[in-house]
């Protein structure tokens, strides 16, 4: 049986592929790119798990409900 992949392993593999695909081109704003790429799907999944309840979702995420609402607005998820 194969070991399931962890999120950090998936991110590592994706970033390594990203750098390979650049073929020497200088990257920029990687931090923001990764945060945006991870944050939206995370919010979508957590909101589904919380049945759309922002208070439950904010508790699951460990962030303030107002912060969650801002992030949902930023990603067009409201």
Assigned domain for 10 exists: no
What total of structural domains would you count in the chain? Answer: 1
> What is the value of pTM for the model shown?
0.78
Assigned domain for 17 exists: no
What average pLDDT does range 14-28 have in this prediction? 92
CATH number of residue 68's parent domain: 1.10.10.60
Residue 12 pLDDT: 92
**Nearest residue to 39 (alpha-carbon basis) of 6, 9, 63:** 63
Assigned domain for 5 exists: no
The band of 18, judged by pLDDT with boundaries at 50, 70 and 90, is very high
Assigned domain for 60 exists: yes
Could you tell me if 59 and 25 are in contact, meaning their C-beta atoms sit under 8 angstroms apart?
Answer: no
CA distance 42 to 60: 11
């Amino acid at each position: 049986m194969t070991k399931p992949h962890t999120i950090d392993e998936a991110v590592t593999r994706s970033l390594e592929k990203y750098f390979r695909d650049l073929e020497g081109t200088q990257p920029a704003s990687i931090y923001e790119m990764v945060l945006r790429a991870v944050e939206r799907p995370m919010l979508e999944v957590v909101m589904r798990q919380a049945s759309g309840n922002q208070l439950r979702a904010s508790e699951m995420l460990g962030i303030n409900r107002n912060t969650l609402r801002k992030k949902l607005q930023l990603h067009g998820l409201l």
